[in-house]
Structure 1
Amino acid sequence: MLRKGEVLKLGIVPYMEGKEIQLKAFERVKKGETDGILILLQHPPVYTIGVSGGFDENILVPLEELMKKAELYKVERGGKITFHGPGQIVAYPIFNLAKWQKDVHLFAYKLEETIIKLLEEYGIKAGRKPKYTGVWVGDEKICAIGIAVRRWITWHGIAFNVNTDLSYFGLINACGITEFGVTSMQKLGINEDIEKVKEKMVDKFSEVFGIHFNEITLDRLAVIDNAKA
């Protein structure tokens, strides 16, 4: 069955404004107006800490120093601390799992599969790592996953490093992981325009999740007038 969804492509959006956009999309999906909304954007530099916590042991510099570099928020997603910033595509799939399968682990698996297939387009062999979430190239993570689910509707999502400034990750144990590092498409020798990567990502979401997307604008959600597409 081909589901019907919407995709919203934005530029750089402050983290809390992005959260408000997610919540508006969530309400639209909850009302049954669409099977799912995929939001693609970037954030200004920001660290977020999920419900698994690990605040003290995973910040490697004094808190004041960290907050000079980027904002810091505690959020509702799973997982520990991670970084978002320009050059990283953050994808928020607001999907009604009742239209697919009420299985959060399968949903996370499909998110990983989406990015694995995306990287195949660029000749990058990526995969999963036992005991860890996300998508990996060797021993380095290129895409982090942190989701939340309410009434079988998903929010939060994935963070995929295209040409991100990876030095921000040096101030934290990203996702609470100490033994492995992070990477990006740029670090792997692929210099691609981030908007082109977004387009391919939409295609892979459509393929993996069996959903056809119609593109919408912020006006459709009637939120945040100053966020520019």
Structure 2
Amino acid sequence: MAKAGLLVRNLGRVEYLQTWQAMIDFTAARSEQTADELWCCEHPPVFTLGQAGRAEHLLTDLGIPLVNSDRGGQITYHGPGQVVIYALLDLGRRQLKVRQLVSAIEQAVIDLLAAHGVLAERHAGAPGVYVAAAKVAALGLRVRRGHSYHGVSLNVDMDLSPFAAINPCGYPGLAVTQTRDLGISLTPSQAATVLADHLAVQLERR
């Protein structure tokens, strides 16, 4: 499905490692004519550690795999019921700087929540989206030769308990929440579609 100069792919539930390798391959094979894409998916349970991530932020071994990823950021959790959107973009063609892309992604999540009457915000120095003190969406990006991959995860309707086994995004005691607990009745599939729509709007505005 194409929208606002983007090809949006719904991958369903896919393994993290397989999807990460696919992003690397896609980015390496890009040309000036390659369309930008958003990949919407869910992952089976996995902890991922960003490039600068520290293993001590994994507090408890739950038997869930830990993957050392090449994205930015610290440690986070992905699992069923969480929407992940990967942003495979030519930043030069879009005249986007990384900070602008981060802002666009955050604003897309903020706008989705606002449409359902939920006030969300950014926290200075801690990328992501928060409702009060609880994090509802996490960001992690990689840029290679002006092309971005990785993206954003939005907690929708999932088991949040594995977050207690980590310092989410490197912050001890950071609370997490999800859209279901905020009174938003979207399914993960619906949330992925709506979030992709909001992100497409933000990218066109920039």
Residues in 2 aligned to 1:5 and 1:191: alpha-carbon distance in whole angstroms? 27
Aligned to 2:58: 59
2:126 aligned counterpart, secondary structure: coil
- Tell me if the contact between 1:35 and 1:99 (Cα under 8 Å) persists in the aligned partners: no
Task: Specify whether residues 3 and 152 from structure 1 end up closer, same or farther in structure 2 by C-alpha distance, changes over 3 A only.
Answer: farther
Residue 120 (str. 1) matches residue 132 (str. 2): no
Aligned to 2:157: 163
- Tell me if the contact between 2:167 and 2:173 (Cα under 8 Å) persists in the aligned partners: no
Tell me the percent identity: 33
Residue 77 (str. 1) matches residue 71 (str. 2): yes
Give the root-mean-square deviation of aligned CA atoms. 1.7
* Equivalent position amino acid for 2:15 in 1: P
Residues in 2 aligned to 1:25 and 1:86: alpha-carbon distance in whole angstroms? 24
Residue 39 (str. 1) matches residue 33 (str. 2): no
Aligned to 2:23: 22
For CA contacts below 8 A with separation 6 or more, give which structure has more relative contact order.
Answer: 1
Gaps of 5+ in 2: none
Aligned to 1:91: 85
* Equivalent position amino acid for 2:175 in 1: G
TM-score (norm 2): 0.92
- Tell me if the contact between 1:44 and 1:85 (Cα under 8 Å) persists in the aligned partners: yes
Residue 9 (str. 1) matches residue 10 (str. 2): yes
Q: Based on CA coordinates, which of the two structures has the bigger radius of gyration?
A: 1
- Which of 133, 157, 162 does residue 127 from structure 2 map onto? 133
Residues in 2 aligned to 1:59 and 1:192: alpha-carbon distance in whole angstroms? 30
Residues in 2 aligned to 1:177 and 1:93: alpha-carbon distance in whole angstroms? 25
- Tell me if the contact between 1:49 and 1:81 (Cα under 8 Å) persists in the aligned partners: yes
Residues in 1 aligned to 2:144 and 2:152: alpha-carbon distance in whole angstroms? 17
- Tell me if the contact between 2:47 and 2:65 (Cα under 8 Å) persists in the aligned partners: yes
- TM-superposed CA distance for 1:102, in Å, is 4.3
Task: Specify whether residues 51 and 133 from structure 1 end up closer, same or farther in structure 2 by C-alpha distance, changes over 3 A only.
Answer: same
- Tell me if the contact between 2:9 and 2:39 (Cα under 8 Å) persists in the aligned partners: yes
- TM-superposed CA distance for 1:25, in Å, is 3.0
What is the CA deviation profile of residues 184-205 of structure 1, one whole-angstrom value per residue up to 9, with x for unaligned ones?
0012122322211122112111
What is the CA deviation profile of residues 86-115 of structure 1, one whole-angstrom value per residue up to 9, with x for unaligned ones?
000111000000122241111111110111
Task: Specify whether residues 24 and 5 from structure 1 end up closer, same or farther in structure 2 by C-alpha distance, changes over 3 A only.
Answer: farther
1:77 aligned counterpart, secondary structure: coil
Task: Specify whether residues 6 and 24 from structure 1 end up closer, same or farther in structure 2 by C-alpha distance, changes over 3 A only.
Answer: farther
- Tell me if the contact between 1:5 and 1:34 (Cα under 8 Å) persists in the aligned partners: no
- Tell me if the contact between 2:36 and 2:89 (Cα under 8 Å) persists in the aligned partners: yes
- TM-superposed CA distance for 1:36, in Å, is 1.0
